[in-house]
Amino acid sequence: MSVLGNFVRLEVGKPKRLHFTRHEFVDKVIRDPLTGAAKTVRVLQFYVDYEDGQKVSKVFSVTSEKLAAALSPYLEGQRYAKLEFVIIKKGEGFLTDYSVEVRPL
C-alpha cells in the first residue's frame, strides 16, 4: 500500500461511500495549482472507518467550500456517525462540484 493509501481520493464520476468516526479542522499547506505557490488552508478533516463497504483507517480532507458546506450540517453532535455518505465528484478545477447523498446506517 502506498502512503497515499491512507487518504480517501475522489475520482470524477465515481461514487464513494464513506462512514466517518470523527472530525476536526486542521491547517494544511497545499500548493496552489495556478500559481505554484505554497499556501496554508483550513480544511475539514474526517476519519474514515469504512470506504465502499470495506473496513479502512483513512483520512478524508475536505478543501472544497462547496463540499464542506454540504457536510457541515452533520458536524454538530457528530450526527455523521450514524450515517453513510455517498459523494460523487463532478468536473475538475474551477468547475468541480459534488453530489452528496446521505443514508442511514
**90-104 pLDDT, tens digit each:** 998 888 999 999 999
Q: What's the number of domains the chain is made of? A: 1
pLDDT in tens, 15-68: 999 999 999 999 999 998 788 999 999 999 999 999 999 999 999 999 999 999
Expressed as residue numbers, the domain containing 85 is: 3-104
- Give dist(CA 50, CA 3) in Å, integer: 18
CA-CA distances (angstroms) from residue 32 to 8, 39, 70, 91? Answer: 20, 7, 23, 18
Would the pTM count as exceeding 0.85?
yes
